[in-house]
Amino acid sequence: MNSEDRIHLIFEKIGQSVQSSSFLGKGEASTVLKVSTDKGTYALKTALYPERKEKILKEAQFRAFFLKNGVSCVPRPVYTDTEIFPNGAVIYEYAEGSKPEVINISNLKQFARIISEIHRIDYEIVDDGFSQVQKLWQFLDKTTRKIMTNHSHLMNSSIELAFEKALKEFDQKIKEKRDVNTIGMNAQLHGDLSDNFVIDEQDKIWLIDWENSEYGDVAEELCWFLYINKIQPDDRLTFYQEYKKWFIPAQKIKFEEIEEFYYAATPVFNICWGINQLDTNIKENLEPERKLRDLAQSAKNWKSFYPDTATSLIIKGINTLKEALD
């Protein structure tokens, strides 16, 4: 059965007739189509390989959970399938909109309100907030070791030495700022607040791609969003103020004093995740070239947080990896 026949069959399950379908986007392991029927427009998300099936189905559950708890920026799951599409597929309401090149202040404040709604659903306060930063270092250390072990065939001495130098630099930063007095907070997160959103004609923000939702550190979620969207320091302050205004328990978190740690961890995590995804891309015959380009950009981003030696090593290491695969 070809993909077009599958699309028609899955929409017959909800009593609708497909009029047209078009490609919307492709993630690391999923494809999203825009499907118009005789009764409306929908987004159809399907997994690209069997190992991704659980995440595709779990995302629908996460979306239903947040909708049930009053979060209004979530396109609703309509129908979940595991038969017509063996790797799993979900029909969602379609959020008509686009991603702006630059997030303006009005939208940034709206993001702060939305994210506070998400985090308020289920949270806990950590009295010693700086312990969250120390846990971040521990997780970064664990992640780099795991990547070097599980993907040893993609490793080289330059990447391994770059990891070592970055972790030492990160640890030194922690030692220099151990006296920061802040609370921390864990909550149920969206899980990937990067560019996974669209803004409709009424300037309402819709958050998509909830498959990585998890319980974790709110500072990590916020800083990831601000880092990826290149929000400048003054605007970050505005964002934090708006977030705290709507989420009162977070008012004692000193984001401005701890954000540097989360920012510095991000490019290292990006290399780790990128190598893991590259391995999958190679095994599943997807798009390793695109992932190599992402890795090269992540390597260049080290220069904002780490000494020239570590940055040069990771750039050399990724270039060496690319040459080996070519």
The pTM of the whole model exceeds 0.75: yes
Pairing verdict, β 89-93 and 41-47: antiparallel
Predicted confidence (pLDDT) per residue in 231-278, tens digit: 999 999 999 999 999 999 999 999 999 999 999 999 999 999 999 999
Residue 28 has pLDDT above 80, yes or no: no
d(CA 96, CA 201): 8
DSSP-assigned states of every residue in 269-292: HHHHHHHHHHHHHHHTTS-HHHHH
Structural domains in the chain, sorted by start? 3-93 (3.30.200.20), 105-325 (3.90.1200.10)
Question: pLDDT confidence of 286, banded at 50, 70, 90?
Answer: confident
**pLDDT averaged over every residue in the chain:** 96
Residue 206 has pLDDT above 90, yes or no: yes
Share of the chain above pLDDT 90, in %: 94
d(CA 51, CA 86): 11
d(CA 278, CA 232): 30
Share of the chain above pLDDT 70, in %: 100
Q: Are 47 and 284 in contact (CB under 8 A)?
A: no
SS3 261: helix
d(CA 145, CA 14): 47
Sign of CA dihedral 138, 139, 143, 146: positive
What pLDDT, on the 0 to 100 scale, is given for residue 32?
96
Q: Are 52 and 59 in contact (CB under 8 A)?
A: no
What pLDDT, on the 0 to 100 scale, is given for residue 8?
97
d(CA 291, CA 287): 7
Predicted confidence (pLDDT) per residue in 60-89, tens digit: 999 999 999 999 999 999 999 999 999 999
Q: Are 259 and 173 in contact (CB under 8 A)?
A: no
∠ Cα 152 135 266 (to 5°):
60
